[in-house]
Amino acid sequence: MTTYNWDLIERLLHEVQNGAGHSFTPRPYAEQYAAEKAAAGEAIENLDHLKAVAGEYEKLLLERSYIEPRPEEEGGNGENFVLTPRGSRLLSLIDSSIPGNDHPRQVLDEQEDALDEFTFDDLASKAQIA
């Protein structure tokens, strides 16, 4: 089974969502994420590993159509992205600011690979996941 760091993925998706006119840089976002976790007293994994994972997530999210290059007319600069409808659905399921987000994350964690396009689309179409 593939397990994902949903908090880090959430952070990356929020950065995509708010990234008009700015380059998407997953490694510094991973550093900021780790600093926030440490400041909250939470244990963090190896920072270099976390940065590498953030880069892998960027590639995965792009390859599996959760994000796509941002059009120029929307502030695209060739180095930033927008959420696709699939990416928006993922963010709405895992967003920690939404009460009750633990259940969707648990359901996603129970899948062989929750970010597989077919698996995710099937899960996201079911009302009971949210």
Instruction: Say which DSSP state 70 is in.
Output: P
Total-model pTM = 0.92
Q: What is the pLDDT of residue 81?
A: 94
Q: In which band, very low, low, confident or very high, does the pLDDT at 130 lie, cut at 50, 70 and 90? A: low
> Is the pLDDT assigned to residue 76 strictly greater than 70?
yes
Task: List Cβ neighbours of 19 (8 Å cut-off, separation of 6 or more).
Answer: 70, 75, 80, 81
Query: What percentage of the chain carries pLDDT values higher than 90?
Result: 61
Mean pLDDT (the chain) is 90
Burial 5-14 (b: 16+ CB within 10 A, else e): bbebbbbbbb
Give residue 67's pLDDT: 97
pLDDT tens, position by position, 22-60: 889 999 999 999 999 999 998 888 999 999 999 999 999
Cβ(56)–Cβ(3) below 8 Å: no
On the question of pLDDT at 100 being above 70, the answer is: no
Residue (of 80, 83, 91, 81) closest to 124 by Cα position: 91
CA distances from 82 to 12, 22, 57 (A): 11, 12, 15
CA 90, CA 125: separation in Å to the nearest integer?
11
